[in-house]
């Protein structure tokens, strides 16, 4: 008390004690509640992972069935959100801008959300938010391209339902290839949490003021809208498109080394080794391409990785591919436009945000209120306007 330190970007400050996600950036290890991300991506489903993140344990069969049933029965959004709120946006509105606003708007539809210390009410808002994110995300996309809204089909799994709301064009139903459904689910698992990243910190900051979870999640979604956080995979697609051919890769790497820009999708504040998620995304890319055909950018990405990882500049700075290096290539192959990339990130990250929100309320965390080092004027007297220069 009475002593504080200047720590811009909170790079050296632990803001919370957390038992949700373990990350070792030197070793390239990521675990949710102790379970290695590799095992979860191989064996689990996104909804099982969301249960795990929120409850701390894997569900038994009965708990899992109830959880899936609860989520499935909250996928619809109020008609006023769709008809009046979403349709009020400008025709070329960015889907992420729509999502930020729509998540915030939900707080006005659920007045019980203010009862944040009532566990039953908290559970209800958690289920609503996880369930409605894909519906809002797909609605934002359909609106942004002038297509009619598709209602949730609750006979489908969580990822299949999202793909149906995105792509359905005719009755009676849209059936995605099961390999694409699984790839979507794996990408949701990989993006579900990543400890104290920028958007999770935003969730914790707003949550610490005891705002309702929709308002806090809107702040977190807004943080994810920033290109430094949720937008790197879009930058990767732009970079690979600009490189254009395998022949240009070496020259591009040379120009990065000379200080002209950065290799997008490389390097990470915490990982100083291969991001474990990037390995899984790379493998998933091949599974997706079996269905969609190969994204021609893949060969450029592979060559770029090979050239960079055999270059002392990148090795000595411990710059390896991060999760964004291959994810955009998959999304693009599946037909998603680049402005949907951060939206695809937000859909599963809501589970992580809510797990952190729950954690901070359970431990009755203090309101986040950092100090500052004041560097402005010393005291001075007010000068009337006519005497100012």
Residues that bind ligand CMC (CB under 6 A): 197, 229, 232, 256, 262-269, 317, 319, 322-324
Q: Within 10 A of 228 (CB to CB), how many other CB atoms are there?
A: 9
State in angstroms the smallest separation of the CB of 277 from ligand CMC.
Answer: 9
| C-beta of 150 vs 304, nearer to ligand CMC | 304
Q: Which of 185, 268, 275, 356 is catalytic?
A: 268
Q: Catalytic: 268?
A: yes
| Chain Cα centroid distance, residue 58 | 22
| C-beta of 265 vs 348, nearer to ligand CMC | 265
Q: Is 168 exposed, middle or buried (0-12, 13-18, 19+ CB in 10 A)?
A: buried
Q: Which of 193, 212, 275, 324 is catalytic?
A: 324
| Chain Cα centroid distance, residue 18 | 19
Residue reference for tokens 């609503």:
128
- Say how far apart CA 144 and CA 91 lie, in whole Å: 6
Query: CB–CB of 318/331 below 8 Å?
Result: no
State in angstroms the smallest separation of the CB of 218 from ligand CMC.
Answer: 18
- Say how far apart CA 348 and CA 335 lie, in whole Å: 19
State in angstroms the smallest separation of the CB of 41 from ligand CMC.
Answer: 17
State in angstroms the smallest separation of the CB of 144 from ligand CMC.
Answer: 23
- Say how far apart CA 354 and CA 336 lie, in whole Å: 26
- Say how far apart CA 317 and CA 272 lie, in whole Å: 8
State in angstroms the smallest separation of the CB of 69 from ligand CMC.
Answer: 33
| C-beta of 105 vs 304, nearer to ligand CMC | 304
Q: Catalytic: 381?
A: no
Find the angle CA(30)-CA(32)-CA(37) to the nearest 5 degrees: 50
| C-beta of 75 vs 327, nearer to ligand CMC | 327
Nearest residue relative to ligand CMC (C-beta): 267
Find the angle CA(280)-CA(283)-CA(287) to the nearest 5 degrees: 125
| C-beta of 47 vs 99, nearer to ligand CMC | 99
Catalytic residues: 268, 324
């Amino acid at each position: 008390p009475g002593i504080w330190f200047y720590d811009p970007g909170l790079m050296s400050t632990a803001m919370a004690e957390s038992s949700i996600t373990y990350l070792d950036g030197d070793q390239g290890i990521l675990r949710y509640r102790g379970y290695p991300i590799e095992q979860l991506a191989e064996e689990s489903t996104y909804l099982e992972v969301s249960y795990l993140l929120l409850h701390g344990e894997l569900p038994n069969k009965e708990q899992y069935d109830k959880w899936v049933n609860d989520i499935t029965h909250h996928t619809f959004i109020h008609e006023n959100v769709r008809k009046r709120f979403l349709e009020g946006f400008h025709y070329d509105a960015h889907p992420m801008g729509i999502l930020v606003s729509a998540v915030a708007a939900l707080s006005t539809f659920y007045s019980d959300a203010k009862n944040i210390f009532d566990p039953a009410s908290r559970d209800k808002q958690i289920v609503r938010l996880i369930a409605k994110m894909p519906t809002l995300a797909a609605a934002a996309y359909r609106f942004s391209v002038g297509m009619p809204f598709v209602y949730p089909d609750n006979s489908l799994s969580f990822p299949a339902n999202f793909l149906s709301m995105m792509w359905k064009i005719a009755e009676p139903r849209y059936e995605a290839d099961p390999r694409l459904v699984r790839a979507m689910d794996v990408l949701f698992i990989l993006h579900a949490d990543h400890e104290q990243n920028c958007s999770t910190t935003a969730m914790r900051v707003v949550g610490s003021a005891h705002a309702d979870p929709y308002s806090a999640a809107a702040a977190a979604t807004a943080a994810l809208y920033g290109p430094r956080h949720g937008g790197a995979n879009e930058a990767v697609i732009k970079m690979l498109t600009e490189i254009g051919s395998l022949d240009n890769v070496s020259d591009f790497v040379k120009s990065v080394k000379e200080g002209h820009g950065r290799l997008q999708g490389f390097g990470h504040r915490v990982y100083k080794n291969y991001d474990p998620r990037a390995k899984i995304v790379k493998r998933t890319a091949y599974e997706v391409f079996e269905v969609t055909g190969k994204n021609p950018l893949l060969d450029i990405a592979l060559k770029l990785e090979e050239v960079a990882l055999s270059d002392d500049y990148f090795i000595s700075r411990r710059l390896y591919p991060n999760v964004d290096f291959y994810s955009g290539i998959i999304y693009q192959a599946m037909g998603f436009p680049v402005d949907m990339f951060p939206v695809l990130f937000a859909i599963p990250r809501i589970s992580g945000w809510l797990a952190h929100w729950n954690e901070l309320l359970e431990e009755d965390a203090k309101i986040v209120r950092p100090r500052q080092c004041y560097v402005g004027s010393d005291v001075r007297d007010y000068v009337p306007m006519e005497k100012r220069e």
